[in-house]
Amino acid sequence: MKTFFILSICVICSLNQAISQSWSGTTPGNIYYNSGNVGIQNTNPLSPLMIGGPIGTNVETNGITLSHLHNVIEFINSDYSLGYGAKIYGKDEGTGRTSLRVAVRGNSNTWQDALYIGASDEGGANNGLVGVGTTTPEAGLHVKKIHTLGDGSQIAARFGDSFNHWTYFGPDNSGRIRGGSEGYLWIESNPNGGSDKRLYLNAASPGDVTIAVGGGNVLIGKVTQANTAYKLDIAGSVRANEIVVNTTGADYVFEEGYHLRSLNEVEDYIQEHGHLPGIPSALEMQEKGMAVGELNKKLLEKVEEMTLYQIELMKIIKEQNERLSNLEKRRNEENN
């Protein structure tokens, strides 16, 4: 009986040692489990393989770590206090919102979120927004982190492989949008009072610039219009080598039936109103302005009226000269 008891104890110890055996060795081999689920650090596996802790390789080099406890995938993670790392992880933002983030760190033990993708409950904040360099995006794509180029300019995006292909915004006190060198498009502003305010358009070959094609007016040097009938409204002077205005002439002055005031009528009108008939007063022009084409037509009308007056005066002068010549001829005949 004593011998049987001792043998039983030995068998139980052997089975316990076999069950808790750690697998090791230098000879490669396979492990097969034919039925049920396998749990690692988990006593109630719900899937063929369920792991209750991190899954990892050598994460200090090029390994990968998965963890359901922290919702993180670490691709590389140094153990040094001032080390390096890269990971993808999810985060519960609260009130039904979740986010997916990509974080990195270098020479620091603090992770920095480099990419943020947010989602939420219906109609919530950050719904479907993507943030680069920010965890609180305010647009479909919100880029917050900017970089400084060698010439000191600030950039937000780049299209192409040349320096001139940058499309960027400047520092806080300015804003810039700059195109490529083959066809520039510069829009630069400095709201803090600098001199760099410009809109610069250029192209390698001639082309047209179209503004407000969908409606609306173009204002230069002002933000409001007293009269919205003008497509181009400029607060200031305009200089040009030549301006062409499509308008009509004043040939109607020479047509039969045109009422030409007598000079006496013109004189009376001037004395009463202080300006020529048919021409707005100086005060009216100052307050309301006057179309260049209409003004030129009115001026031409007055020139043509003056021409008719001169023709009439020439007829009168010619008639008077003839009368004087006849009187002088008669006097000479009487004296002889």
DSSP codes, 276-294: -TTS--HHHHHHH---HHH
The domain boundary, picked from 107, 140, 173, lies at 140
213 or 90, higher pLDDT: 90
* Residue 249 reports pLDDT greater than 50: yes
* Residue 282 reports pLDDT greater than 70: yes
pLDDT digits (tens, 9 = 90+) for 289-300: 888 889 999 999
Asked if the structure places residue 170 within a domain, the reply is: no
Asked if the structure places residue 257 within a domain, the reply is: yes
Asked if the structure places residue 265 within a domain, the reply is: yes
Asked if the structure places residue 118 within a domain, the reply is: yes
pLDDT digits (tens, 9 = 90+) for 141-199: 777 755 555 555 555 555 444 555 555 555 545 555 655 555 556 666 654 555 555 66
Of all residues in the chain, the percent with pLDDT exceeding 90 is 21
pLDDT digits (tens, 9 = 90+) for 50-103: 777 666 554 455 556 665 555 677 776 666 556 678 888 888 777 777 788 888
The domain boundary, picked from 88, 109, 140, lies at 140
Average pLDDT taken over every residue of the chain? 74
Structure confidence at residue 218 as a pLDDT band (50, 70, 90) = confident
Alpha-carbon distance 196 to 245, whole Å?
33
Structure confidence at residue 317 as a pLDDT band (50, 70, 90) = very high
- pLDDT at residue 276, as a whole number: 94
pLDDT digits (tens, 9 = 90+) for 20-44: 444 555 666 677 777 788 888 888 8
- Contact yes or no for 217/232 (Cβ under 8 A): yes
The domain boundary, picked from 114, 140, 166, lies at 140
What range defines the domain where residue 47 resides?
A: 34-140
For the whole model, what pTM was predicted?
Answer: 0.43
- pLDDT at residue 91, as a whole number: 82
Alpha-carbon distance 203 to 182, whole Å?
6
Asked if the structure places residue 18 within a domain, the reply is: no
- pLDDT at residue 120, as a whole number: 53
Asked if the structure places residue 296 within a domain, the reply is: yes
Asked if the structure places residue 319 within a domain, the reply is: yes
50 or 12, higher pLDDT: 50
212 or 25, higher pLDDT: 212
The H or E element that residue 176 is part of is strand 175-178
Task: Phi first, then psi: give them for residue 18, nearest 5 degrees.
Answer: -70, -40
> Bridge partners of 218?
232
Alpha-carbon distance 220 to 299, whole Å?
29
Asked if the structure places residue 233 within a domain, the reply is: no
Q: How far is CA 150 from CA 155, 156, 175, 199, in A?
A: 11, 14, 18, 24
Q: How many domains does the structure of the chain reveal?
A: 2
Give the number of C-alpha atoms closer than 13 A to the C-alpha of residue 187, restricted to the C-beta side: 5
- pLDDT at residue 122, as a whole number: 45
- pLDDT at residue 103, as a whole number: 87
